[in-house]
Amino acid sequence: MKLLPVVLILVYAHIWVGAEPQCPPVDGERPVFIPSPDCNKYYMCGNGIPYLITCPGNLHFNPTLNVCDWPDRAGCKEGEECLAD
């Protein structure tokens, strides 16, 4: 029983750290894209499920245009939240 609190803490930590973004439950007229803390990745929502997508090559996700773009145009710094203007 001494292990139970440790196991619960590890499970909650995994859920909290590895939590995926929340997508709308139903797709709208336009697709929903959510930036990832990793600049070359983003989430594309589909019927409430976030799908992790990796940009090709050295491109970064540009949340203003919702495309993979050159790093200097995307405006993302690794480890920071990448937000649209």
Reduced to 3 states (helix: H, G, I; strand: E, B; else coil), residue 12 is helix
Both structure tokens of 31: 């697709």
For residue 15, what pLDDT band results from cuts at 50, 70 and 90?
Answer: very low
- What was the pLDDT predicted at 77? 77
Q: What percentage of the chain carries pLDDT values higher than 70?
A: 69
Domains and CATH numbers, the chain: 22-85 (2.170.140.10)
∠ CA 16-1-14, nearest 5°, is: 10
The whole-chain average pLDDT of the chain stands at 80
DSSP-derived letter for residue 33 is: E
Q: Do the strands 49-54 and 67-69 form a parallel or antiparallel pair, or are they unpaired?
A: unpaired
- What was the pLDDT predicted at 79? 62
| CA dist., res. 7 & res. 14, Å (int) | 11
- CA separation (Å) from 32 to 20, 26, 54, 80? 14, 10, 16, 20
